[in-house]
Amino acid sequence: MVAWCYHRLCVTKATYSLSLVKGLIKEGSWHLTESARDTAVELGFDEADVYDCVVNCLEETHFYKTMAAATKLGLMQDVYYITYGGRRLYVKLQVYVEAVVVSFKERD
């Protein structure tokens, strides 16, 4: 069961420690969803760019919101807004055994 507050998108603190996510990625324990990979490529980025953006550039101050995952009940995803490579990006992260970059797309 997901707390009522999550459904209202009022969560102002990341579910996952950004240092944990970065640590998992540095260890090689991560992957991009197919959707995140596709949109990154459409923007001219490759997997090394996604790695650089998340591990070297993303900071806690970029945190925007936490939301419930659409496909896995009870799993939460943290959304960050960051400008990287001249693009305003929407980066969605989760931890499910390993770090997962769920979304890496241009922010509306």
Question: How high is the pLDDT of residue 1?
Answer: 44
Residue boundaries of the structural domains of the chain? 4-106
Question: How high is the pLDDT of residue 58?
Answer: 98
Class of domain 4-106: alpha beta
Q: Considering the entire predicted model, what is its pTM?
A: 0.87
Write out residues in the chain with pLDDT < 70, as ranges: 1-11
Any idea which residue has 């760019």 for tokens? 49
Question: How high is the pLDDT of residue 11?
Answer: 63
Question: How high is the pLDDT of residue 79?
Answer: 97
